Amino acid sequence: MKAIIYNSFKGPVTVEDVSYPQLKKDGVIIKVMATGICRSDWHGWQGHDADIVLPHVPGHELAGIIEEVGSDIKNFKKGDRVTVPFVSGCGRCGECYSGNHQVCENQFQPGFTAWGSFAEYVAIDYADINLVKIPDSMSFETAASLGCRFVTSFRALVKQAKVSAGEWVAIHGCGGVGLSAIMIANALGANVIAIDISGDKLEFAKSLGAHQIINATKVDDVVAEIKAISQGGTHVSLDALGSKITCHNSISCLRIRGRHIQVGLMAGKEASPEIPMGKVIAHELEIKGSHGMQAYEYPSLMEMILSGKIQPEKLIGKTVNLDEAADILINMNNFQEHGVTVINQF
């Protein structure tokens, strides 16, 4: 089968003929119909992810059709249209028993702990408790765009930040995850402030539901600007980029008892940000992370999509084939892409 593969970190990324995945008893093989390209894939290629064993096939935001099911699979069959959260819990550890599959101690992540979905076929472990059936009316491209950035933003705002209607929410960074968060926060009834360094991205953010936008290159003090707009600071703030500056700004722009959620990955030289811990104490700020979402939480997200309140398909930038994707992956850090690029030709 065809797949995007690399043999060394930061080395060439090529499309090759590779071996078909092995079916496990508790797993399935999915014929990939669509798969999103994400900054996490770029981080993986850079060597920022300790789970990756070379040679490696990336790709973790996928949707497709089940080709084969393992002998232990009870809930799915060949031909089902499915997607999967980027973190699949084992179902047998303490975190999974507590319902927190998104932080499973033995988690399976296609494109990280195993070969991923930038391929004609992908194997998914622990499939019975992690696959999600796709509604008939939803395209594979849209379903693929949910599994990482969209569900992470959804959980960040709904479960971690517990955003209420009328609250101010700041979203730092308008890439795929930030734009998802803007759309979801708007649907939850929040007043959304979007911050980025690109005027184009900010205009797009506006069209997706940002009520106010701040171009960080055009103001002296981003935090002061946010505080002025929100009259004292936001109730909730997300660092949707993952950098020392955006993390610091996100915590600093909160009002008293505000909630910061870290969504953007902190990798490489951004890994250890400076936290204004004095303010965290004095203002009783909350700091939480958000890491994917359990498969069993998908129905509430699907209901919001089917009702038209949120439209993840608006985030799909362009669709490409495997060859084009190999190029896009290695150039990802140039921040050129609008929204989410999806591979749908293999």
Binding site for Zn ion (CB under 5 A): 38, 40, 89-90, 93, 96, 104, 148
Q: How many CA atoms lie within 13 A of 96 on its CB side?
A: 16
Say how far apart CA 43 and CA 241 lie, in whole Å: 13
Least Å distance, CB 303 to Zn ion, is 23
Contact residues for 52 (Cβ-Cβ < 8 A; gap 6+): 44, 112
Beta carbons of 67 and 31 less than 8 angstroms apart: yes
Beta carbons of 142 and 35 less than 8 angstroms apart: no
Least Å distance, CB 38 to Zn ion, is 3
Say how far apart CA 192 and CA 207 lie, in whole Å: 12
Say how far apart CA 263 and CA 241 lie, in whole Å: 7
Which of 154, 157, 155, 156 lies closest to 167, judged by CA? 157
How many residues does this entry show for the chain? Answer: 346
